[in-house]
Structure 1
Amino acid sequence: METYTTMRLMADSWGLLCMALFFIGAVIFAFRPGSRALADDAASIPFKDDAQ
């Protein structure tokens, strides 16, 4: 049971920290300067082959 307790404590502390850092990094990546043009280009991909 000692291994389970150790793994549980590691997941509770370091796992939460890793997930929080990943979330913060994803938010910074999404809202970084200059990403608006790339996001607009990616959003228009499904409509590039539509006849007008």
Structure 2
Amino acid sequence: METYTAMRHFADSWALLGMTLFFLGVVAFVFRPSAKTAANQAASIPFDHDVIGSTPERHAGGKPQHTFPHAARKED
């Protein structure tokens, strides 16, 4: 029972403190002022090819662009 008590004491004190510090570090990292540009660029990725009357195939010269290696097929 001493092992359980020691682990419980550790979890209630140092582990809780460690998880709290990790959480605050992640929040500070995400909301740092220099991350605004990267966040705005990442947020606009889905709209990069939004041109009225346009499809991704037209941007690739009539051939569909494959972004994943497993999606690419050999054309016979």
SS in structure 2 at match of 1:26: helix
Distance, in Å, in 2 between the alignment partners of 1:42 and 1:3 is 47
Shift of 1:24: 1.1
Identity %: 60
Uncovered stretches (5+) of structure 2, i.e. residues with no partner: 53-76
Task: Identify, as 1 or 2, the structure richer in helix.
Answer: 1
What is the TM-score normalised by the length of structure 2?
0.59
* Matching residue of 1:33: 33
SS in structure 1 at match of 2:32: coil
* Matching residue of 1:23: 23
* Matching residue of 1:44: 44
How do 1:6-21 residues align onto structure 2 when only pairs under 5 Å count? Answer: 6-21=6-21
Larger Rg: 2
Greater CA drift, 42-51 or 11-20? 42-51
Uncovered stretches (5+) of structure 1, i.e. residues with no partner: none
What is the TM-score normalised by the length of structure 1?
0.80
